[in-house]
């Protein structure tokens, strides 16, 4: 079998996890100070990255042994994997992503504020909802993964194009027009948060309380 390369694909790691409960949210890299007259000053001190926790369901010991070696592999420096939000694997109005079959959505462009995008290549009249996720790759050395959520509903016109719609977090430098967009199992690249993985406890044939914490990485 070939040596694993990073990031591990969804099929190589994430899809194998028997996820019981989920936390999946952006970080808040803010600094707050207060003036003498009580005004709070808030400033960004870094980019907003995704982070989360997966607590795994109880599994038979044999099943746990299919997962724990991969978690140990990901404890290494430089190890990474692709992750998606299991609560919203596709647009809310398109369960399974069936309506997107045969279409190849692309980014038309990015507004100057880097908070708005428009999209082409959707099915005519296709509807996206607030909270739907979209991902794409950009850059090289390393290849980076952008994962963003829509801040408002938007619909494609008869040509499959949308008007500008806000996304969060804002897009980072290096994102180019015509990037391929993924709405079904949109991903970001992640690493395990150091010293937080828990391989659980085994009693007789059952392993319980396995969990991992992770954070997005752009490296």
Q: Per-residue pLDDT tens for 60-79?
A: 999 999 999 999 999 999 99
Query: CA-to-CA distance for 119 and 146, rounded, in angstroms?
Result: 15
User: Given a cut of 60, is residue 30 above it in pLDDT?
Assistant: no
Task: Give which of 172, 186, 47 is closest to 115, Cα–Cα.
Answer: 172
pTM recorded for the entire structure = 0.91
Question: φ, ψ for residue 70 (rounded to 5)?
Answer: -70, -40
Please, which pLDDT band fits residue 197 given cuts at 50, 70 and 90?
very high
pLDDT at position 159, please? Answer: 98
Query: CA-to-CA distance for 168 and 148, rounded, in angstroms?
Result: 5
Topology adopted by domain 1-84+187-219? Phosphorylase Kinase; domain 1 (3.30.200)
From the centroid of its chain, how far is CA 173?
A: 18
Within 19-152, where are the H helices?
A: 61-73
Give the residue-averaged pLDDT of 182-189: 98
Q: Which residues pair with 19 in a beta bridge?
A: 56
Q: Are 184 and 198 in contact (CB under 8 A)?
A: no
Query: CA-to-CA distance for 75 and 50, rounded, in angstroms?
Result: 19
Query: CA-to-CA distance for 208 and 122, rounded, in angstroms?
Result: 43
Higher pLDDT, 31 or 111: 111
* Start and end residues for every CATH 2.40.30 domain found in the chain: 88-186
From the centroid of its chain, how far is CA 134?
A: 8
pLDDT at position 43, please? Answer: 62
* Start and end residues for every CATH 3.30.200 domain found in the chain: 1-84+187-219
Topology adopted by domain 88-186? Elongation Factor Tu (Ef-tu); domain 3 (2.40.30)
Q: For the stretch 87-118, what's the b/e string if a residue is b when 16 or more beta carbons lie within 10 angstroms of its beta carbon? A: ebebbeebeeeebbeebebbbbebeeeebbbb
pLDDT at position 135, please? Answer: 98
pLDDT at position 28, please? Answer: 78
Give the residue-averaged pLDDT of 197-214: 94
Q: Under the phi-then-psi rule, with left for phi > 0, alpha for psi from -120 to 50, and beta for the rest, what region is 204?
A: left
Higher pLDDT, 129 or 43: 129
Higher pLDDT, 136 or 31: 136
């Amino acid at each position: 079998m070939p040596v694993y390369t990073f990031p591990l694909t969804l099929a190589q790691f994430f899809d194998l996890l028997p996820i019981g409960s989920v936390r999946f949210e952006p970080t808040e890299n803010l600094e707050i100070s207060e003036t003498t007259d009580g005004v709070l000053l808030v400033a960004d001190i870094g980019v907003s990255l995704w982070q989360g926790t997966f607590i795994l369901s109880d599994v038979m010991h044999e099943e746990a042994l299919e997962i724990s070696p991969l978690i140990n592999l990901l404890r290494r420096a430089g190890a990474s994997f692709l992750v998606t939000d299991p609560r919203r694997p596709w647009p809310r109005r398109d369960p399974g992503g069936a309506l997107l079959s045969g279409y190849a959505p692309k980014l038309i462009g990015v507004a100057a504020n880097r908070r708005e995008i428009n999209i082409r290549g959707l099915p005519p009249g296709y509807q996206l909802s607030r909270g739907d996720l979209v991902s794409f790759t950009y850059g090289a050395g390393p290849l980076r993964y952008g994962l963003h959520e829509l801040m408002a509903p938007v619909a494609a016109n008869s040509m499959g194009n949308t008007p500008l719609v806000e996304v969060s977090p804002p897009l980072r430098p290096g994102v180019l027009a015509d990037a391929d967009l993924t709405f079904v199992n949109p991903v970001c690249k992640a690493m395990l948060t150091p010293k937080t993985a828990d391989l659980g406890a085994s009693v007789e044939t059952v392993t319980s309380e396995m969990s991992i914490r992770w954070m997005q990485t752009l490296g």
